[in-house]
Amino acid sequence: MFEIPTSTKQHDESRQGEALLIENDPQKSNGRKLYIESYGCQMNFSDSEIVASILLDKGFETTRDYREADVIFINTCSIRENAEQRVRNRLKEFESAKAKNPGMVVGVLGCMAERLKSKFLEEEKLVDVVVGPDAYRDLPNLIEQVDEGSRAVNVLLSREETYADISPVRLNTNGVTAFISIMRGCDNMCSFCVVPFTRGRERSRDPQSIVKEAQNLFHAGYREVTLLGQNVDSYKYTAAVADGEEAGPTITFANLLELVAQVNPLLRVRFSTSHPKDITNDVLYTMAKYENICKYIHLPVQSGNSRVLQLMNRTYDRAWYMERINAIRSIIPNCGISTDVITGFCSETEEEHQETISMMDYVKYDYAYMFAYSERPGTLAAKRYADDVPEEVKKRRLTEVVDRQRRHSLERLQTYVGKTHKVLIEGFSKRSDKDYCGRNDQNAMVVFPVDERYKVGDYVNVFTDKCTSATLIGVISS
Ligand code: SAH
Ligand code: SF4
Ligand code: F3S
């Protein structure tokens, strides 16, 4: 079996923390070592690149070994209870390192920091500093406060902060694919979800800074960018103008997609996440118009039943979602589609669960991220509805959904077998350096023997003649 490189796991919140390594300018060094580990969604990994950039600027070096660090940061996720549990377990592992080096600063960043605020300091004696996702510019100052002997907290959320002017340091990069945050926060208030509380109000980043970042990446040799946001389809930016002047045009997500696609035809563009209520035909037509916008959409359904969707406050129903799928299939006939599913949401019946399965049969997703419902304190669902589906029923429904998806993933992959795919070479296969790996337009992983004529970062046509459960296998045909 071939393994999928971690860089393709764009939406997998269950990822274990990854330690980050950055190169440092020896001239600037302050002699202190930073260790940073990230959990949760791609936005968190992207934020860690901003944090690294801020601290690199202050002369920090990085290390992959937390035992030799002067500052340990853990960038956390609150999306499900087990995500938080994982972080707490990890903090325990840092205890002995701190006991050996009492000057060590331990900081909790990200969504869990925002959710628990100063309570974190009471609950976890080890922690010196708690910093929410909109307060990273304050980190050098907060570290200084800790150096002076106090513990420090900054969990202020902002309506403006997009870190637009900070060039993220690309960490653990393959040099070919990169993520660009285009917006922050979320205004949707899905009843199960903690994100609006941990990430604050939705705000869009200046399109010029996004295009510039894409251009810089292209010039540095990158060949694919993924535009990131909790709900990219509601991206909207109107340039601020002086009093009395006429407001400039409003840039929508479709406009932004076009601007980034025009950076260079050799730069592939992907994006995530789309919300079914907001994805417009304009976006679909823009995708169809540009060869370099990948034909792949992550469109979380959550449930296939309209009553459950209403309780979830998703603001679409089953018929609306199916209509959006039909629109995708007719405007972009060869589009890959993936989704997120929650099983056992409050009061979900067996029949309603079956409707999720029948929706999966209808769409035949290429890929899905599937979860048992986990009640999050403070959310609308926690306040309004009883978490009344027994744990074993949630788990059984989850197994059913996972089994169905496994079949569909394989069926979808099989439709790609026997065809030639344009693949961007992202690196060597994890299993063997005699094989390259990369993805096709629809985001399926393709593995094929190295051909000396082509290098990482090149596009090649690969004829695929077979597949495993998650990977297409083929040979370069031109
Ligand atoms: N902004 C994205 C989702 C971000 S969270 C969107 O709207 O699609 C990623 C996924 O985690 C969600 O799509 C949902 O399927 C899952 N999730 C969120 N809260 C959850 C909870 N309380 N229990 C279980 N799964 C949850
Ligand atoms: Fe959460 Fe819904 Fe916002 Fe996604 S759109 S982040 S699920 S509130
Ligand atoms: Fe987790 Fe926060 Fe992302 S809760 S999924 S890290 S926005």
Residues 288-312, mean pLDDT to the nearest whole number: 98
Question: Does residue 46's CB lie within 6 angstroms of at least one atom of ligand 2?
Answer: no
**Which residue's alpha carbon is nearest to atom 4 within ligand 2?**
230
* Whether the CB of 112 sits within 6 Å of ligand 2: no
- List the single range of 16-25, 220-229, 257-266 with lowest mean pLDDT: 16-25
List, in sequence order, every beta strand (DSSP E) within 214-317.
224-228, 236-238, 250-252, 268-272, 296-298
Percent of the chain with pLDDT over 70: 94
**Are 76 and 39 within 8 A, CB to CB?**
yes
**Ligand 2 pocket residue status of 111, Cβ below 6 Å:** no
CA distance 173 to 467: 27
Rounded CA-CA distance 313/381 in Å is 9
What percent helix, strand, coil does the chain show, rounded to 5? 35, 20, 40
371 lines ligand 1 (CB under 6 A): yes
d(CA 231, CA 179): 15
DSSP state of 130: E
DSSP SS3 for 252: strand
- pLDDT digit string, tens, across residues 3-40: 223 333 344 444 445 566 555 566 678 889 999 999 99
Which residues, 6+ apart, have CB-to-CB distance to 63 below 8 Å? 21, 33, 34, 35, 69
Q: Which atom of ligand 3 is nearest to the CA of 39?
A: 6
Summary mean pLDDT of the chain = 93
Dist. CA 310 → ligand 1 center (Å): 15
At residue 243, the pLDDT reads 74
Residue 340 has pLDDT above 50, yes or no: yes
- pLDDT 10s digits, 159-180: 999 999 999 988 778 999 999 9
395-406 tens-digit pLDDT: 999 999 999 999
Q: Delineate the domains of the chain, giving CATH numbers in brackets.
A: 18-154 (3.40.50.12160), 177-414 (3.80.30.20), 420-476 (2.40.50.140)
Lowest-confidence pick of 245-254, 311-320, 469-478: 245-254
Both structure tokens of 291: 């060869």
Q: Are strands 459-467 and 471-476 parallel, antiparallel or unpaired?
A: antiparallel
Residue 346 counted as an annotated binding residue = no
- What torsion, rounded to 10 degrees, do the Cα atoms 444, 449, 452, 457 define? 20
- Which carries the bigger pLDDT value, residue 254 or residue 478? 254
SS3 226: strand
Alpha carbon distance 432, 449 (integer Å): 9
Rounded to whole angstroms, what are the CA distances from 398 to 128, 192, 301, 354? Answer: 38, 17, 15, 12
Atom 19 (ligand 1) nearest CA: 193
In contact, 184 and 227? CB cutoff 8 Å: no
pLDDT-based confidence at residue 133 (cuts at 50, 70, 90): very high
User: What is the C-alpha to C-alpha distance for residues 468 and 474, in angstroms, rounded to an integer?
Assistant: 11
Backbone angles phi, psi at 59, to 5 degrees: 95, 10
| The pairing of beta strand 250-252 with beta strand 236-238 | antiparallel
Q: What percent of the chain has pLDDT over 90?
A: 87
Residue 276: closest CA among 332, 351, 327: 327
Protein residue with its CA nearest to atom 15 in ligand 1:
340
Instruction: Quickly list DSSP for 56-99.
Output: HTTT-EE-S-GGG-SEEEEEE--SSHHHHHHHHHHHHHHHHHHH
Please report, for residues 44, 181, 330, 357, 360, the alpha-carbon distance to residue 229 in angstroms, rounded to integers and kept in the order given.
11, 6, 26, 27, 24
Please say if the pLDDT value at position 478 is more than 80. no
Tokens of 401: 């959904």
3-state SS assignment for residue 439: strand
> Which is higher by pLDDT, 20 or 305?
305
Give the C-alpha separation, 343 to 319, whole Å.
Answer: 20
Question: Could you tell me the pTM of the whole model?
Answer: 0.93
Indicate if ligand 2 lies below 6 Å from the C-beta of 200.
Answer: no
Q: How far apart are CA 359 and CA 235, in angstroms?
A: 27
Confidence band of 341 (pLDDT split at 50, 70, 90): very high
